[in-house]
Amino acid sequence: MSKPLKFMQSNASNPKLWILIGVSVAGIVIYAETRRRRNGKVLQREDFGAFVHRFELKPFPQPPPPAARLLLTGLTFAVKDVFDVKDYVTGFGNPDWKRTHDVAEKTDGVVTLLLMNGAACVGKTVMDELGFGITGENKQYGTPTNPKIPSFVSGGSSSGSAVAVAGELVDFALGTDTVGCIRIPASFCGIFAFRPSHGVVTMNRVLSNSPSLDTVGWFARDPSVLHRVGHVLLKLNSVEPRRMRRLVFADDLFQLSKVPLQKTVHVVKKAIENLSGYQCPKHMNFGQYLVSKIPSLKEFLQQPPNSQKGISIFKALSSVMILLQRCEFKINHEEWIKSVKPKLGSNVSEDVLAAIKTSYDDMKTLYKVRTETRLALQNLLKDDGILVIPTTADPPPKLSTKKGISSEFRDRIFALSSISSVSGCCEVVVPLGTQDDCPISISLLTFHGADKFLLDTVLDIFSALQEQVSIAPNILSPFPDTNSDMDASELLKEKGNAAFKGRQWNKAVNYYTEAIKLNGTNATYYCNRAAAYLELGCFQQAEDDCTKAILLDKKNVKAYLRRGTARESLLLYKEAIKDFKHALVLEPQNKVANLAEKRLRKLIS
């Protein structure tokens, strides 16, 4: 018998021993439960960690009858920690900033306008430090918990404001949007958000990250609340002549999204089928259009061999956005950064350091790109057009990922957010249910100054969208049934090959599709259709077809090469490298694969 057991046996009648054992066991149980909660699902906080300060600014009194009831009566809101509120320090998401600045002498005009219209302000919200970051993680004040999917990030930099709305703590919330700081968290949290046209909402007492990109925006769970807040902040007329609406789908941008088209494009198209005032929707390769309309962007266009110009243009546009942000941040805040040397979270310090080190003398070129981009959208959309794009390309990353977000994730998300940021056009985020339990959304975007037109559209279309979301398919259609008619399928394949050689890409896709319907187990049919899809710029379809071809034939070198090309165009560089490496294993002397792998490794490094 062990010594501990002998000790317990000899002291079994001692009550103090049993009290000691009970306390010890209870302590172990409590410790284990605490560890389980921390390491398992995120521990839910009462306010989801959304607030930096809780307070109440009461609304202005209602005017006596017969005056109309104030538009925002009964609504509550919160503000991002960049808005001045009298007697509070505007903290910019960082304790060192708060420590080195005085309390605000006045409340920002936008906040006051909301109070004047009947809403009550209940606090300031957490944000990414200094307005950098897109995940919403703040190492200083804690990271707000995404109410929809607690183990995933909420998105940033206006993370606390988005969480306060998604968690039903307030009816709406203010944030600012620079490179997607409102749109990204709205998409990740499954709520509405509006980024107005640049400059239409004043930012007199709002801390700025980059003045040429910054806008005041807002979140809401309900489109009518989004609309009412817009009427107040944008000072809109109640009545405006109704005009036709023309939706334009950017097909190449939906290729970046990992959400099935049945849950985005199909839902929107079906929603407007029976609505009056909508023209037949159009589809376009938006990237190719921008290539021809923004000549000053050419010097930022890093065009690798064999890649598609359409996607490269968005990467160039996002490069301009990031460069403009860094340059203007440096102009405004370099002196404070160097004198205070603030303590910053690792996810933000890299961006701040890059901004301070930025050296770019030709600012006029950046502003020229901005002007040309705005004009390109004006010419495309005229006075009735609305561009439809995905808000984000990927589902939100998990919380506290050790490696951080990948360069591919940033490239893909900035490719989408750069359109409104650089052009200064207005954009609204509309939630469309979930995919694999993660919220999904689309963005509607129109020309600068058409904010009311866009807000009215959301109000007009949303009930029809909801109806379509409820009946949208949960999964993609299965493979077509196999047919034994091999001769007919081979004939269709040959017709597809002939159309391909004749540069009739759509015709080739149709022939290959018919061949697949007759024989869905032939890897060549999928691989050939992928080649046609690549020529059309349909990269997601090309990737899907190559994956099917590889499942059927694991030694299909062309399928690996074409999937690698598709993934490179979708900015999935690491996955593309794997495909080109696999092709080299099968064909060690393959020059295309060898050059592609080297190019991508250099690009990532």
Residues with Cβ within 8 Å of residue 163, at least 6 apart in sequence: 48, 49, 50, 125, 126, 136, 144, 145, 146, 147, 154, 169, 185, 189
d(CA 342, CA 513): 59
Indicate the residue type of 185.
P
* Phi, psi of 455, deg, nearest 5: -65, -40
SS3 397: coil
* Cβ partners under 8 Å of residue 470, min gap 6: none
pLDDT at res. 66: 82
- Tell me the pairing of strands 438-446 and 426-435: antiparallel
Q: What is the pLDDT of residue 373?
A: 98
Q: Give the other-Cβ count within 10 Å of 385's Cβ.
A: 22
pLDDT of residue 407: 87
pLDDT of residue 269: 95
CA distances from 433 to 27, 135, 445, 467, 468 (A): 43, 21, 20, 11, 10
Contact at 8 Å (CB) between 410 and 319? no
Euclidean distance between CA atoms 134 and 182, whole angstroms = 9
Paired sense of beta strands 172-177 and 192-195, if any? unpaired
Paired with 435 in beta bridges are 438
Tokens describing residue 425 = 């056009």
Q: In CATH, what is the architecture of 483-604?
A: Alpha Horseshoe (1.25)
Domains of the chain, by residue range, sit at 51-297+366-472, 483-604
Supply the pLDDT for residue 130: 97
- Residue pair 151/398 in contact by the 8 Å Cβ criterion: yes
CATH number of 51-297+366-472, picked from 3.40.430.10, 3.90.850.10, 3.40.980.10, 3.90.1300.10: 3.90.1300.10
With H, G, I as helix, E, B as strand and everything else as coil, classify residue 519. coil
Residue 323: closest CA among 370, 371, 288: 370
pLDDT at 30: 53
Domains 51-297+366-472 and 483-604 equal at CATH topology level: no
Distance of CA 354 to the CA centre of its chain: 22
Sheet holding 438-446, edge to edge: 51-57, 120-125, 76-80, 172-177, 215-220, 192-195, 426-435, 438-446, 385-390, 246-250, 282-284
The amino acid at 546: C
**DSSP annotation string for 9-48:** HHTTT-HHHHHHHHHHHHHHHHHHHHHHHHHSSPPPPTTT
Tokens 């701040």 -> residue: 352
Q: Which pLDDT score is estimated for 236?
A: 82
* Mean pLDDT for back-to-back runs of 10 residues, the chain (605 residues): 52 57 56 46 70 96 87 97 98 97 97 98 98 94 96 97 98 98 98 98 97 98 97 82 88 91 94 92 94 92 54 92 97 96 91 93 94 98 96 93 82 96 98 95 97 95 93 48 54 88 89 89 93 89 94 93 92 92 93 91 82
Of the candidates 429, 439, 419, the one whose C-alpha atom is nearest the C-alpha of residue 263 is 439
- C-beta separation of 583 from 600 below 8 A: no
Could you tell me the CA-to-CA distances from 398 to 41, 136, 149, 153 in Å, in that order? 11, 12, 9, 6
The Cα 207–Cα 504 span in angstroms is 53
pLDDT at residue 6, as a whole number: 52
pLDDT at residue 10 in the model:
58
CA angle 411, 415, 417 (to 5 degrees): 115
